[in-house]
Amino acid sequence: MSKICTEELIRELSLLKTEGMYLNDFLHTWDKTDQEIDAVFTVAEILKEMRKDNISTKVFDSGLGISIFRDNSTRTRFSYSSACNMLGLNVQDLDEGKSQIAHGGETVRETANMVSFMADVIGIRDDMYIGKGHAYMKEVAQSVDIGHKEGGVLEQRPTLVNLQCDVDHPTQSMSDAMHIIDQLGGIQNLAGKKLAMTWAYSPPSYGKPLSVPQGIIGLLTRFGMDVTLAHPEGYEVMPEIEKIASINAENSGGSFTKTNNMAEAFKDADIVYPKSWAPFAAMEKRTNLYGERDFDGIDKLEKELLAQNAKHKDWECTEELMASTREGKALYMHCLPADITGVSCEQGEVAASVFDRYRVPPLYKEASYKPYIIAAMIFMSKFKNPADTLQGLLNRAGKRIF
């Protein structure tokens, strides 16, 4: 892409109202205005183009990007690391196992400040327990607020990026959306398209995060799409997120529909996103059992859920279902890794032939946007006039590779 196109994107960015993002956290997409969401896509694209054109996007000469992963992660860890690196921040991981956090007297407020003296950004994944992850992020955010504003303890306010909580997974849903925008040839082409976010059977695990389907219905309903959420009875997501989806759909001129029928969701869909998740009610129960340290209860719950799952083995993304989509050519999506029938398990979320057809490039491209989305989220939170700063980078014309 030529410098002229990048400058055109910067001009578009300059027209968006984004002051509210400055020194603010990115925890849920629904906390952000449409223009702010648009700005993140635009900055992500600008950063992507600048990197392609070998233009340095280093806006930090030094500074730390703290990461706190309370669950395993490969792609989000590397995406965060890539995003920080392309902006000039150095990642320092808070490994709670190697720290003194368990030690008496240490609180979230204390740790958050102690690690933030030179932190520009904090990325957190905490998706294991319903009611916990988002609450933890809010507590960290309030803690560094106190450290920055009241105490003069922190020279700068590190801003937070939610790398997946119990409620939303914004870096995933925004990357997914960017992939859809790219595939459909522009954000204006999303209106009227049908997206099916459907549950799918996955034998080996009973507790996959709800934040992926919730993130998708909470975000994609904003663009005038017809979003259908499909799952077997009992696999409900959080009601407040369904409500957000409904309101979004109404505002955007799209629709939000629920069904317990996978075929109905797939019928004439332009995009399908079949993926396993755990029932919200069960996850809530699990959090309570965990709180009571009732491990026998957790084991029992797990067995019940696996038995319940096993009743829905027919929730698989088959060739037959794919054939029923618009012209039989719906875009198949997944946040990866997927459970593929006959490959990673006897029976899973998706037929091997379907998965293979979409693996490279579509599924890998879908994942490739995440570093840029995270970098854009950080960028918007740290620069008051993002368009000016990006134009400044373009004028500086530093090279990424000598």
Choose, by CB under 8 A, the member of 2, 4, 98, 186 that binds a second copy: 98
Between CA 265 and CA 226 the distance in angstroms is 10
Structure tokens of 342? 């006959």
Interface residues for a second copy in 62-81 (CB under 8 A)? 62-64, 69, 72-75, 77-79, 81
Q: Considering beta carbons, is residue 55 or 262 the nearer one to a second copy?
A: 55
Q: Considering beta carbons, is residue 28 or 334 the nearer one to a second copy?
A: 334
Burial code (b: 16+ CB inside 10 Å, e: under 16) for 275-302 equals: bbbbbbebbebbbebbeeeeeeeeeebe
Interface residues for a second copy in 369-388 (CB under 8 A)? 370-371, 382
Min CB(396)–a second copy separation in Å: 8
Site membership for a second copy, residue 58 (CB under 8 A)? yes
Site membership for a second copy, residue 340 (CB under 8 A)? yes
Structure tokens of 306? 């696996």
Min CB(326)–a second copy separation in Å: 24
Choose, by CB under 8 A, the member of 2, 152, 296, 328 that binds a second copy: 152
CA-nearest of 138, 126, 112, 113 to 25 is: 138
Between CA 279 and CA 301 the distance in angstroms is 12
Classified as helix, coil or strand, 126 is strand
Dihedral angle sign, alpha carbons of residues 195, 373, 34, 190: negative
Residue 100 burial (C-beta neighbours within 10 Å; 0-12, 13-18, 19+) = exposed
Q: Considering beta carbons, is residue 55 or 249 the nearer one to a second copy?
A: 55
Interface residues for a second copy in 192-221 (CB under 8 A)? 202, 204-205
Site membership for a second copy, residue 99 (CB under 8 A)? yes
Min CB(125)–a second copy separation in Å: 11
Q: Considering beta carbons, is residue 64 or 244 the nearer one to a second copy?
A: 64
Site membership for a second copy, residue 267 (CB under 8 A)? no
Q: Considering beta carbons, is residue 153 or 184 the nearer one to a second copy?
A: 153
Min CB(7)–a second copy separation in Å: 18
Between CA 259 and CA 188 the distance in angstroms is 27
User: What are the residue ranges of helices labelled H in 121-238?
Assistant: 133-145, 170-184, 211-220
Site membership for a second copy, residue 178 (CB under 8 A)? no
Min CB(343)–a second copy separation in Å: 7
Residue 342 burial (C-beta neighbours within 10 Å; 0-12, 13-18, 19+) = exposed
Between CA 386 and CA 390 the distance in angstroms is 6
Between CA 153 and CA 141 the distance in angstroms is 14
Binding segment (CB under 8 A) for a second copy, from list 32-40, 152-160, 190-198, 228-236:
152-160
Min CB(124)–a second copy separation in Å: 15
Interface residues for a second copy in 304-323 (CB under 8 A)? none
Site membership for a second copy, residue 118 (CB under 8 A)? yes
Between CA 176 and CA 164 the distance in angstroms is 14
Q: Considering beta carbons, is residue 225 or 363 the nearer one to a second copy?
A: 363
Site membership for a second copy, residue 61 (CB under 8 A)? yes
Dihedral angle sign, alpha carbons of residues 314, 316, 318, 320: positive
Site membership for a second copy, residue 123 (CB under 8 A)? no
Choose, by CB under 8 A, the member of 135, 153, 184, 289 that binds a second copy: 153
Choose, by CB under 8 A, the member of 14, 35, 92, 259 that binds a second copy: 92
Binding segment (CB under 8 A) for a second copy, from list 143-151, 158-166, 228-236, 248-256:
143-151
Neighbours of 361 (CB within 10 A): 9
